[in-house]
């Protein structure tokens, strides 16, 4: 950390800062300029007490962080990158993984029709919410345990791995009984008790970015999962809330490139929540490949007009098949190939 002391601070007040820095467990190195003194505080910023509180001293102008706040998630800690094994596929390797399925599991017919269609088109993981976080309490909240049962049936028939959301710490064990990958939703991405419970479940976790989360906060949420013993973390960019209203969210593809640079974790893109419009999903998938994403999670419904949630952004099976076929040259250009089921 660098502590910048205000110009013309009397020497005894500079000494006070130096004493405080030492008190907090750092080695202070004052650098005295003609007008201003800065104190370089040497020590591990992730384990020592924070020096940021020194801004409370009137003679301190600013405190600047040098070290990143995440360690286990940082690219330096694993330069070769992490491959997550889930549902019979590798996520984060050379193969590009397509996950697809309905926003919500609605019925056996709806789920099975979708599962067969997305598998035929090239998806290797089936998505589908049994527990749905909805903006209004009067909207469809998912089938709960019945939805999980249908997902397990779909896996049995198709061999597709299952990614499904867990909303509450209380349900983690139960949902982990069915899921190959636990999804932590945007609304829960900083629910730290849920993060810890998911980490301890032993199941791979797909961590969405919260809708107003900074990249650093998202990576720190991933750090929670890693710090609680779960190395199998997949980051998912799903758009953030901005002032724009042509789209539901603003898909932040720069965040994907940054997450790939900053961390060793696989990163997937959810273009469906990312823009909230079926007509944009295909082009955003191309963009996701171009910025280095390791996969996609796309909403597909046999009849989007009748969907119980997110109908406006779900693709029908022919549109999804066309999308996957369209990706081929983009994957080739990026040196990737579509992950296949083993």
CA distance 135 to 210: 14
87 and 161 in contact (C-beta within 8 Å)?
A: yes
User: Does position 133 bind ligand PEP by CB under 6 A?
Assistant: yes
Q: Is 61 helix (H, G, I), strand (E, B) or coil?
A: strand
User: Does position 273 bind ligand PEP by CB under 6 A?
Assistant: yes
Report in angstroms how near the CB of residue 300 gets to Mn ion at its nearest: 11
CA nearest neighbour of 271 among 326, 226, 224, 220: 326
One DSSP character per residue, 207-273 reads EEPPTT--HHHHHHHHHHHHHTT---EEEEE--B--S--SSSSB--HHHHHHHHHHBSS-EEE-HHH
User: Does position 142 bind ligand PEP by CB under 6 A?
Assistant: no
**Assigned token pair, 76:** 């330096």
Among residues 310, 320, 324, 339, which is the contact residue for Mn ion, using CB under 5 A? Answer: 310
Q: Is 157 helix (H, G, I), strand (E, B) or coil?
A: helix
Of 153-192, binders to Mn ion (CB under 5 A) are none
User: Does position 73 bind ligand PEP by CB under 6 A?
Assistant: no
Among residues 119, 208, 301, 336, which is the contact residue for ligand PEP, using CB under 6 A? Answer: 208
Residue count (the chain) = 342
User: Does position 103 bind ligand PEP by CB under 6 A?
Assistant: yes
Residue nearest to Mn ion (CB): 103
The residues that bridge with 184 in the sheet, in sequence order, are 207
User: Does position 144 bind ligand PEP by CB under 6 A?
Assistant: no
Among residues 72, 86, 103, 148, which is the contact residue for Mn ion, using CB under 5 A? Answer: 103
CA distance 262 to 269: 16
User: Does position 270 bind Mn ion by CB under 5 A?
Assistant: no
User: Does position 155 bind ligand PEP by CB under 6 A?
Assistant: no
Residue 134 phi, psi (nearest 5): -120, 150
Given Mn ion, ligand PEP, none, residue 288, with its beta carbon under 5 to 8 Å by kind, binds none
Report in angstroms how near the CB of residue 212 gets to ligand PEP at its nearest: 12
User: Does position 238 bind ligand PEP by CB under 6 A?
Assistant: yes
Report in angstroms how near the CB of residue 211 gets to Mn ion at its nearest: 13
CA distance 125 to 155: 9
Site string for Mn ion, 38-77 (x = CB under 5 A): ----------------------------------------
Given ligand PEP, Mn ion, none, residue 208, with its beta carbon under 5 to 8 Å by kind, binds ligand PEP
Task: Name the residue with tokens 């013309």.
Answer: 8
CA nearest neighbour of 125 among 160, 173, 95: 160
Give the residues lining the site for ligand PEP (CB under 6 A).
103, 129, 133, 185-187, 208, 238, 270, 273
Residues of this chain that bind Mn ion (CB under 5 A): 103, 310
């Amino acid at each position: 950390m660098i502590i910048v002391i205000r110009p013309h601070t009397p020497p005894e007040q500079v000494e006070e800062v130096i004493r405080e820095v030492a008190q907090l467990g750092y080695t202070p190195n004052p650098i005295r300029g003609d007008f201003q003194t800065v104190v370089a505080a040497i020590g591990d910023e992730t384990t020592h007490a924070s020096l940021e509180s020194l801004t409370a001293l009137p003679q301190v102008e600013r405190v600047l962080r040098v070290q990143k706040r995440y360690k286990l998630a940082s690219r330096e800690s694993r330069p070769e990158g992490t491959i997550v094994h889930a549902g019979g596929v590798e996520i984060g390797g050379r193969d590009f993984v397509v996950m697809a399925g309905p926003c919500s599991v609605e019925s056996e017919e709806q789920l099975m029709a979708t599962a067969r269609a997305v598998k035929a088109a090239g998806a290797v993981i089936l998505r589908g919410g049994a527990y749905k976080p909805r903006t209004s309490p009067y909207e469809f909240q998912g089938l709960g345990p019945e939805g999980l049962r249908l997902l397990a049936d779909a896996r049995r028939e198709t061999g597709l791995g299952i990614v499904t959301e867990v909303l509450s710490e209380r349900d983690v064990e139960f949902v982990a009984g069915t899921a190959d990958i636990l999804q932590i939703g945007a609304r829960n991405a900083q629910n730290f008790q849920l993060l810890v419970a998911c980490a301890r479940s032993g199941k791979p976790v797909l961590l969405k970015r919260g809708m107003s989360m900074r990249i650093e906060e998202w990576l720190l949420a991933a750090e929670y999962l890693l710090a609680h013993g779960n190395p199998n973390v997949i980051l998912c960019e799903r758009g953030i809330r901005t002032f724009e209203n042509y789209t539901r969210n603003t898909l932040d593809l720069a965040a994907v490139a940054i997450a790939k640079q900053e961390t060793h974790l696989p990163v997937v893109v959810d273009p469906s929540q990312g823009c909230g419009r079926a007509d944009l999903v295909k082009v955003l998938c191309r963009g996701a490949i171009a910025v280095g994403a390791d996969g996609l999670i796309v909403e597909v419904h046999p009849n989007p007009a009748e969907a119980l949630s997110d109908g406006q952004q779900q693709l029908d099976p022919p549109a999804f098949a066309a999308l996957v076929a369209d990706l081929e040259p983009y994957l080739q250009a990026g040196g990737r190939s579509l992950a296949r089921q083993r």
